[in-house]
Amino acid sequence: MSISPKVLEQVRLRAQFTCEYCGVIEADTGGELTVDHFQPSARGGSDDASNFLYCCYRCNLYKADYWPTQPTHVPLWNPRREPASNHFLTLLDGSLYPVTAVGAFTIRRLRLNRSPLLSYRRRKQSESEEAKLLARYREVIVSLERMEQQYAALLADHRALLEQQRQLLRMLEGS
């Protein structure tokens, strides 16, 4: 397949430089991913950008030229048309659990529970949790800084009140 650099860049940007099937990011693979026809051209798919998916080498390899040709054949999940959450749940161990027949078929066909992807998802989950904890830690620090400022203001008010009280006491003693 010959794809123009402009269309390639559009597909990459649309996919946010991520495999639209398994979620692996270009930066984590050390290079660009591949462009795949969702509906293979050998099965009547067009060369229109709307039929292109950005995917990693493995997902492209495992998908091959699959296209359901019989009404009983299960279609592959189309990440351009619906979110993964319609078909999969990500478990704590990083594996995908199918919630539909399309999800189960896609997991099997693309081998989306292969060991490196499980490790990748666990690492991403851990990084996400770490980022959430750091954000919460920053919120706590900001709150503590505000409380410290409020405490300092209260102390200043308290000192001022004590000084006024001393002045009143001196005035009372003098009269």
Question: Region 110-119: what's the mean pLDDT?
Answer: 97
* Residue 77 in tokens: 């999940």
CA atoms within 13 A on the CB side of 63: 26
The answer to whether position 145 is within a domain reads: no
Give the pLDDT confidence of 50-97 residue by residue, as tens digits.
Answer: 999 999 999 999 999 999 999 999 999 999 999 999 999 999 999 999
CA atoms of 167 and 60, how far apart (whole Å): 84
Residue 93 lies in a domain: yes
**Any domain includes 88:** yes
pLDDT over 80 (residue 111): yes
Contact assessment for residue 39 and residue 67, using Cβ atoms and an 8 Å cutoff? yes
Q: Let me know if residue 122 belongs to a domain.
A: no
Domain that holds residue 23: 5-113
Domain membership flag for residue 138: no
Q: How many domains does the chain have?
A: 1
pLDDT at 1: 60
Domain membership of residue 123 (yes or no) is no
Task: Quote the DSSP letter at residue 18.
Answer: B
20 touches 112 (CB < 8 A): no
- Is 155 within a domain? no
